[in-house]
Each structure stands twice: as C-alpha cells, then as structure tokens.
Structure 1
Amino acid sequence: MTNSSAKTRAPLSRPIIAGVVTALVGFTSSFAVVLTGLAAVGATPGQAASGLLALSLTMGIACIVLATRYRMPITVAWSTPGAALLAATGLVEGGWPAAVGAFLVVAALILLTALVPQIGALIASIPASIAQAMLAGVLLPLCLAPVTGLALNPWGVAPVAITWLIFARLAPRWAVPFAFVAATVVVIIGVVTSGKTVDPALLIPQLEWTAPTFTLGAVIGIALPLFVVTMASQNVPGIAIMRSYGYEVPWRPAMLVTGLGTAAGAAAGGHAINLAAISAALAAAPEADPDPRRRWVAGLSTGISYVLLGGCAAASAALVLLAPPAVIPAVAGIALFAAFGSSVQQAIDDPGERIPAVVTLLVAASGVAVLGISAAFWAIVAGLLVRGVLHLGRR
C-alpha cells in the first residue's frame, strides 16, 4: 500500500459505527412487530420478552460468526415478515408450545435447505408473485392499525404518525426508529399521568424455556408459511442485495448458521433468524467504508451490537405492556409499510400473474382458518390453484 492510499484510508471507526447503526435501526424499527407476533400465537409477556432476547443473541452471534469467518459484511436479522405472519395467524391448536414446535420445524427446514439443494429448488418453484401476495395479505391487517388507531386513540397515535411522516421526508432510514421514540414518549407520559408502576423484575432480561409440542395445525399453519416467507422475503433478497455490492455470500454456510441459530433460540421463543435484506445495505454499502475489504468489520459490529441490545428485550416488552391502547400496534403497522408496498408491487407487477396474486392476497388477508390451519397456507393453495387453471394448456 502506498503512503497516499494509507492517508486517504477511512478510519476503522467508520465501519464500526455503520454496524451499530445497522443494529439500532433493525432492532428499534421492528421489535414491536416481533412482540406482537409472539403474543398473538400464545406467548405470555415474559415468554415474548424471552423470544426477543433469544433472537437478539442468536442473530448477533450469527453475524459475528459469518462476518469473521468469511470477511464479508454479512448481517443476520430476525424474520420481520415472519413475525407479521404470526400476528395474522393467531392461536393454533396446542397454543404456545405448538408454536415453539413450529419454530423448530422451521429451523429443520432451513438446515435441510443447506444440506439438500432440492428443498431450495422447491421453494424457488413457488412463483414470486404468489409468495409476495401471501405476504402482502398477511401484512395488510397489521398495516391498517395506524389508521384504526387514529380513530381509537388519536392523542396517542397522532404523535407517532406525524413523527414518522416528518422523518420519512427528512431521514427515511430513521423514520420508524423515531416513530418508536415518539411512542416511548407517549407511553412515559401515560405512565406518569396514570400513576402506573413498573415491577423492576420485569426489566431484567431472562430466557424462559418452553417444551415444544408438534401439531398438524401448527406445522402446516405456522411452520410452512413461516419458512416460505423467511426464504422468499429475507434470504433470497438478502443474497441479491449483497451481490449488488460485490459480495457472494456462501449459501450453504449461511443457511447452516441461521438454521442452527433458529434451532437454538426456538425453545426460548425465537421464531426465526435469516440473512438481513433491507438493513443489509447499511453494512455492505460504500458508506460503511470505501474499502470493500474492510466492511466485514461492520458485520462484526452489528453482531456485537445486537447481543448488547438483547439486554433491552425485557424493557421493550414492559414498554408494550404499559402502552396506551392502539399505540404499539400503530408503530408495528408503520414499521411494515415499506414491506407491504414492496410485496404488493412484486405480486401484481406481471399482468399475467395478477389474478392469482389478487386471490392469494385476499385469502391471506381474510384471516380465515380452515381445519385449524391458518389463512396463509390456504392463500398459497388458492393462488396456485387459480394460477394452474388460468395457465392450463399454455406453454
């Protein structure tokens, strides 16, 4: 290296800060969605907080392992669309233990994807329009929460929505985190004015283990749609985003690490971890470091930051418990706006696939469970059936 290049080299603090920002944005922009999803499938507040902690630890360790081993800014995140799927699914036969069993099945499927290429090929055979339409249908009821919340509790939800809109214009990356800050202020004001107290024990992060059970409804209604959403909306786009910055993420090791991480966190309430998609750019882009060979430090920094943020899991869950009506669902809905818009666009982009996609979206959004199996599964079945009939006889 020449003296001139050494002088222009960015300080090492730059990728470190990029990693911290990646973790902060990832955690604050979607933890409410995770807590909402876990609670919907039967988790108590303590179990939901445990799940948030387990996810923070496992994805942090996964970031550290992958970034250090492969010297790439590989970042791992929890499955936000997967958490939204849980919120839309609700209770299944067997309750929370059955949901935990479904999380373990997802881990096994991710590991099989790494070991058996045909599994990945099977997922890839599901048309992207159908998978994205299913996700859009799952997200739609959650994205309506800010609208219904404004009618239910305008004084609590309006500050959150206004803050999001202002920062969506001025600093889009920070729009959702600052909406969460506004919600925190609303909660604190509500606690002070109402005289509510917080049990200090609720602020101590701890893991709560649940013995899994396995039911057909949970496997088909939670595990399979969660696996499809995680692969189609997180892992595959994550690989593509990293490739756009010149990094070829090793597919099999990445699936092995995230599969093992999902398995390790499942009994503590973690639903799934995967390659980061949208937030991946924060650590992999030139803004993290002009030298692509040093951006792996951002991945390492992201992992360490996630582990440290895990200490906030219990406090985050307590914040949700203390929140006035409609405030936290509004934050969760706002956090999903971008994902909803993207999934709708991809679902109806091809005119030839539009009708099957619309049917898939509507069935998923209906929330109707048949035979104890969630609407997300039936949405894929309905979409593929309609598509098969409409494409019958075509090349």
Structure 2
Amino acid sequence: MPSSRQDLPAAAHVEAVEAPMPQPLLERPGVRPASVRRVLRDLGLPYVSNGVIGLIFSASGPMAVTLVVGTAGGLTEGQLASWVFGILFSGGAATLVMSLLYRQPLGFAWSIPGTVLLGPSLQHLSFPEVVGAFFTSGLLILALGATGLVRRTMAMVPMPIVMAMVAAVFLKFGTDIVGSTQANPVVAAPMVVAFLVLTAVPALGRFLPPVLGTLVVGCVAVAASGQFSIQKGGPVLATPVFTLPEFTWAAQLELVVPLALTVLFVQNGQGIAVLRAAGHNPPVNVFAIVSGAFSLINAGCGAVSACVTGPTNALMTSSGSRQRQYTAAVVFGVLAMACAVLAPTLTRLMLATPREFILALGGIAMLRALQQAFVSAFATTFTLGSLVTFVVTMSGTNLANIHPAFWGLVIGYTVSRVLERPDHQARS
C-alpha cells in the first residue's frame, strides 16, 4: 500500500519540505552551560585581561557620568552609592548568568545615554518621580521583549547600517586617544607606545597581551608622575537604599519611552552588532527580557535601566579564540559584583586617576572594534544608508529626548529603503 507522503502532489511535497520552522520566542543556547571546570580550562591571560579592562572601562568614565548627573540632580550620598551598587551588581549578575548559559561573552551594564537624558529631568522632577519612570520603563522593555517584536524589528535593519551607527558611537573612543595624548603626554604617550610595541612584536604580545601591557604601563606612568590623588574617608561598603516610587504623568511621558527605546535599539543594538561582528549569535529577545527584568532590579536601588553594552562587549571580544571569549565575560561579571559591594571605595579609586588615563586605555582597547565597525558598514552594500546613519548619529540630533543613534538608524534605514532598492531586493 503506498504511503500517504507518496500520494501528495509534487508542489505540496516541496511546500512541506521547505516550510520554515517557526523561531522560538526565547532563543535557546544550543550548547550546554559552562561548568566551573570548563571555565577554568578555557580561562587564559588574554581573557582575564579583557575582562579586567572591561570592568575598568565601565567603572571609570561611565561611572563618572553617573556621579555627575546624580550630584547635579541633588541626590544624596546614600542614593548615589545605592545607584552605583545597583548598576554594578545587576550588570555583573546578568553578564555572569547569560555568559555561562549561552557560553558567549554577553556583557550587560547600564544605559549611559539614559543616564545623560536624566540630567535635565532631575532639575524639575523629584527623584521618586524619576524612580517611578525607571519601574515603568523596565516593565515596558520586558513586555516588548516578551512579544518578540524586538527581534523582528532588528532583523529588518541590514547589518551595515547598524554597524554604521556603532562606528559613529565608537569613533569618540578613537579620537580620545589623540586628545588624551595631547592633554597629558606623560601618562598617555607611554601607553600608546606600549600598545604599538606589543602589537608589532608578536613574541612580546604573546607574553603580555597588548591591552594588558597598556594598562600596566599606564598605571606606572600615573604613579611615577604623581597624578594619583585619592580622597580619604567615606564609606567602604555600599548600602542599597529603596526609594518609594511616585508615578506621575509628567515623569512617565518625559522618560519612559526614551529610556525604553534607548535600551532596546541603541544600547542593545550596539551590543548585538558587536557580538555578531565577532562571530557570536546573541539571543535578541532574551536580551530584551533580561534587560527589562534587571531594569526593575535597578529601579529598586534607584538606578537607571540595565542593557547590553556595546563598548564592554567589544573589549571582551577584542582578542583570543571565539569559543573561549565567554571567560572574559565571566571575569567581568564576578569582578563587577564584587565591586558593587565596594562601590564607594571603587568610585574613589577610579576618580583618583587622571581622566586621560581612562580615555587612552578605553580608546586603545576599542581600536579593533572601531576598525571592524567601519569595515562592516562601508565595505560592500547599503553604503549610502550607512553613511546617512553615521552622519545623523554624529550630528547629535536629539528629538523627543531620544538618543541620536536611534534617529540615525531610523533615518538611515528610510533613506536606504528609498535609494538602495537593489541592495534590499538582493537581501530578501
């Protein structure tokens, strides 16, 4: 007796074979979670170096932005310490869990653009009102991630256009190397020389990774020049403070949508693009859901939204074997949670170093990621859309209190759809 499959018409048979499988809402890891034994086996000096550099980068310049915005907004010392604790602990915990689960370097931190847009808001809104907006934006991010809308939306935008946005955001890290070398040559110039020598001489680079060597030389230069000035006193351990939220229309309308869009399409978009460029397969929907969940935890500490971080992921994927880079994220996560407990002490230590040390270190560590962003954005197709995205993002256009990188993506993609139709047809 013939099978029912043989009785199918040829067209139906082809359709049955070629019908795409529906993609699950939550992207599965595809590998077993990394055990402690596996982490210790994969761990190496380059990955420890990248994890440490990522933490130094996150806990220095971005931390300074947080302190400046919070101080200008009239936050108390306890509220500031709680904010720092929240963003470091949640970023470290999310990074550790996700990186072990997916065995990829999936780094989380907090929204720096979101922190910046809070500056004007804290001048006319009370802190409880701002915290209420933190809670609502966290719920909105979580809900959008749960619908699968984020993955579908990001899949529409071609990778070169996304990487053009990344290139525009990362460009400042490159120019910071030049600016810091001019402003403080005693500290920055030896760091640049160390990086060039260790990169040019592979035998030395294998013994001491270039970025780690840059860090060591920079620390020596700071100490030798007498530019390390730490303030004594103050608390050693952080004490989280819960601020009772107030939900007012003024704060909700002003902050919720900009915070959510900044996290999902600017911050997470950068991180996803960087990870894909490094050969990884990040879980877009899971990123959104985890960002929303940890944003709610941050809000409980009076802190801004959590997100995937482009610069830190770029640092953690800057060298080494792709299969072992997750260990850099493990190092980052463990150190971030430890530093969260010591947030006041850490803040004083980082602010005791000259600004040029942090700028030069971050810029040098980001060079490869910046190079990759430009190559991916302008090497092949969608070059006009990429150029428009780059220009709009660099222009600083800040409509409706939303970061210019978002508008760069929107305008660049729109121009590309109108003027680069053959590229889009070939892509589909």
- TM-score normalised by length of structure 1: 0.71
Query: What are the superposed Cα offsets for residues 254-287 of structure 1, whole Å, 9 maximum, x if unpaired?
Result: 6544431232124443542449855379999666
Aligned runs of 1:183-262 on 2, under 5 Å?
183-189=218-224, 192=226, 196-201=229-234, 203-207=236-240, 214=251, 218-219=255-256, 221-235=258-272, 238=275, 255-262=288-295
2:51 paired with 1:14: no
Q: Which runs of 5+ in 2 are unaligned?
A: 1-35
Identity of aligned residues (%): 20
The amino acid across from 1:345 in the alignment is: V
CA distance in 2, matches of 1:364, 1:140: 11
For residue 359 of structure 2, what is the aligned residue in structure 1? 329
The amino acid across from 2:193 in the alignment is: I
Query: What are the superposed Cα offsets for residues 234-253 of structure 1, whole Å, 9 maximum, x if unpaired?
Result: 24765897867xxxx87766
Distance apart, 1:152 and its partner CA: 1.7
Query: What are the superposed Cα offsets for residues 92-133 of structure 1, whole Å, 9 maximum, x if unpaired?
Result: 544695887776566445423441112321222233233222
CA distance in 1, matches of 2:179, 2:294: 36
2:298 paired with 1:265: yes
Tell me which of 58, 66, 77 is aligned to 1:38.
66
2:405 paired with 1:379: no
For residue 388 of structure 1, what is the aligned residue in structure 2? 417
267-276 or 339-348, which moves further after superposition? 267-276
The amino acid across from 1:31 in the alignment is: A
Q: Which runs of 5+ in 1 are unaligned?
A: 1-9, 289-294
54-63 or 154-163, which moves further after superposition? 54-63
* 3-state SS in 2 of match to 1:123: helix
For residue 383 of structure 2, what is the aligned residue in structure 1? 354
The amino acid across from 1:175 in the alignment is: P
Distance apart, 1:147 and its partner CA: 0.5
Tell me which of 51, 70, 88 is aligned to 1:56.
88
For residue 145 of structure 1, what is the aligned residue in structure 2? 176
2:195 paired with 1:164: yes
RMSD between superposed Cα atoms in Å: 4.6
Distance apart, 1:361 and its partner CA: 0.9
Query: What are the superposed Cα offsets for residues 45-98 of structure 1, whole Å, 9 maximum, x if unpaired?
Result: 967765554333224433555577x5x535542248x54x56987945446958
For residue 28 of structure 1, what is the aligned residue in structure 2? 56
CA distance in 2, matches of 1:157, 1:15: 35
Q: Contact 1:54–1:269 at 8 Å: present in 2 too?
A: yes
Tell me which of 322, 325, 348 is aligned to 1:318.
348
For residue 4 of structure 1, what is the aligned residue in structure 2? none
Tell me which of 374, 382, 392 is aligned to 1:363.
392
* 3-state SS in 2 of match to 1:200: coil
Distance 1:120 1:203, change over 3 A: same
Distance apart, 1:381 and its partner CA: 3.2
CA distance in 1, matches of 2:106, 2:387: 31
Q: Contact 2:84–2:303 at 8 Å: present in 1 too?
A: yes
The amino acid across from 1:231 in the alignment is: N
For residue 125 of structure 1, what is the aligned residue in structure 2? 156
* 3-state SS in 1 of match to 2:59: helix
Distance apart, 1:382 and its partner CA: 2.6
Distance 1:156 1:287, change over 3 A: closer
2:211 paired with 1:176: yes
CA distance in 1, matches of 2:98, 2:389: 36
- TM-score normalised by length of structure 2: 0.66
For residue 107 of structure 2, what is the aligned residue in structure 1? 77
CA distance in 2, matches of 1:104, 1:284: 39
Distance 1:15 1:242, change over 3 A: farther
Tell me which of 134, 143, 155 is aligned to 2:165.
134
